[in-house]
Chains A and B, each alone.
Chain A
Amino acid sequence: AQSVTQLGSHVSVSEGALVLLRCNYSSSVPPYLFWYVQYPNQGLQLLLKYTSAATLVKGINGFEAEFKKSETSFHLTKPSAHMSDAAEYFCAVSDRKGSARQLTFGSGTQLTVLP
């Protein structure tokens, strides 16, 4: 069984400030981990994924995430927030067998960027 916990359903940062969105996972097998972003009135878009290569993963739009096995975490960061980053962010986990059907999503974090 696998699960994802996203700490903080709403996060607000000032433009130019660090963005940190937290994700902790539980998995009985080594996981694949993902971050998706959902802009208003749009579907989900993949930001980045971890599939057992480098533990620091770089994604689109300046985002990155670090896989920390000891902490069972996969937090998403961006050094400097931009107004266009305002969206909902979902962390997801799947088992290493790679079935998309086994993907489990977190409850999401709404990011607000203040001017």
Chain B
Amino acid sequence: SAVISQKPSRDICQRGTSLTIQCQVDSQVTMMFWYRQQPGQSLTLIATANQGSEATYESGFVIDKFPISRPNLTFSTLTVSNMSPEDSSIYLCSVTNTGANVLTFGAGSRLTVL
């Protein structure tokens, strides 16, 4: 299965700033997703990163707050904009290929917003 590298692994950020998280896959994949895992909670899908077009956002998530890029089949970024303490979470990149049901996850990026 694919191997995913996420950067940064963790960061402490100030309120009002923005942070970009990178997701690099060691092979081409059809689908890339971004999840959020808030403290003590399960995973919530933020959006599907689409190559060469705008991401598809889930209910409750908007592009202005979570802009996503996917320039090719192995790389994506998620930006958390104008951060507040409520954005303190683990953000996870995951990938799969069309027709497959199994997601492969990165190690996650743990953000703390002060």
A interface residues, Cβ below 8 angstroms from B: 32, 34, 36, 41-46, 49, 51, 90, 94, 98, 100-101, 103, 105-108
Contacts and interface: CB of A to CB of B under 8 A. Distances in A.
B66 interface: no
B75 interface: no
Which 7 A/B pairs are nearest by Cβ-Cβ distance? A43-B105, A44-B105, A105-B42, A43-B107, A100-B96, A105-B43, A107-B42
Contacts of B106: 43
Given A42-B107, A43-B106, A107-B42, A101 B101 contact: no
A98 B103 CA distance: 11
Most buried by B among A43, A45, A51, A101: A43
Contacts of A45: 105
Contacts of B102: 34, 46, 49, 100
Given A43-B106, A90-B42, 7 more contacts: A41-B110, A90-B43, A100-B31, A100-B101, A101-B33, A103-B45, A105-B43
Interface of B: 4, 6, 9, 31, 33, 41-43, 45, 48, 92, 94, 96, 99-108, 110
A44 B92 CA distance: 9
6 contacts: A98-B101, A100-B33, A100-B100, A100-B102, A101-B45, A105-B42
A108 B107 contact: no
A101 B48 CA distance: 8
Nearest to B56: A101
Contacts of A103: 45, 101, 103
A19 B88 CA distance: 32
A85 to B, nearest CB: 19
Contacts of A41: 9, 107-108, 110
